[in-house]
Amino acid sequence: MTAARPLSIPLSDGAKPAAIPALGFGTSPMTGGMSADSVLTALKVGYRHIDTGRKYGTEAAVGEAMRASGLKRDDIFLVTKVSHENLRSTDFARSLDQSLAALKVDYLDLLMIHWPNPAIPLSEAMPALAKAKRDGLARHIGVANFNTTLLDEAVRLCPEPLSVLQAEYHPFLDQSRLLAGVRKHGLAFVAYCPLARGRLFDNAVLQDIAKTRGRSIAQIALRWLIQQDVAAIPFSSNPQRIADNFDVFDFELSDAEMARISALKSTGLRIANPVERVTGGWD
């Protein structure tokens, strides 16, 4: 059976590559201590979208794995992020230089602001982000963990078009309002914590659908995101789970199954708490 959805999510900013792979490999849970082996396993399985961040301490391991894989640089969609304390122009440029040096690459496919910072106005942060694109150091730019109000402001203030918003999204968290805001601006949505750090695995609805389908709960949850045209970046250090998580492109959930999973949003579970970083509520 061939899945009806594409393997990538289009990017509308006019830059190349014109799409982001729908399933990526995240590297945040093992901050600073992740070996290159997990990333190399992911690349061997077929992942071509690797997500890291300056704050994670995993950029060097990601770069090592990319070189060991034997893949061409252009075959990998590489993402990193500038942390919220480095959003002033000089600090931003230094952080980006450090990321490129750690990764040992000349450019990024996507550079993102990791979290907004109320102490640093977007009127300063967004031009710094745009400069990275204009200088050829990032092919695409985006923001992570912005609510709808901040996203509107970021789009308005950025001299270059944004292409991606990354935020937490899984069946236990209602992100319909944020997703609508992302779509309004023609951006792609990338979901982190797509498996709610394992908290999905005891859910009876997901267990039932997984059993009926002969699939893992992780595969069901990831397929639910992909069928909304949302990219996802799961993480695992287990080679078999890394492979299993990527095996989601040969089946499709029914409308009824999608609705059953979507109804789980009433749980209201959020893994990443933005309160200490953002004021004015969260959408």
Determine the Cα–Cα distance for residues 93 and 132; give it in Å rounded to an integer.
8
| Torsion on CA atoms 253, 255, 258, 262, rounded to nearest 10 | 170
Reading the block at residue 87, the tokens are 């959003």
Please name the amino acid found at residue 65. A
- Classified as helix, coil or strand, 110 is strand
Reading the block at residue 1, the tokens are 């059976």
| Torsion on CA atoms 208, 209, 210, 214, rounded to nearest 10 | 110
Tracing tokens 């500038």 back to the chain, one arrives at 82
> Do the strands 108-113 and 49-51 form a parallel or antiparallel pair, or are they unpaired?
unpaired
The catalytic position among 56, 107, 169, 192 is 56
C-beta separation of 187 from 162 below 8 A: yes
Distances (CA, A) of 226 to 18, 131, 186, 250, 273: 17, 31, 17, 12, 24
Signed CA dihedral, 259, 260, 263, 267: sign only: negative
Is residue 7 packed enough to be buried (19+ CB in 10 Å), middle (13-18) or exposed (0-12)? middle
Full DSSP string of 32-43: TT--HHHHHHHH
56 is catalytic: yes
Active-site positions?
Answer: 56
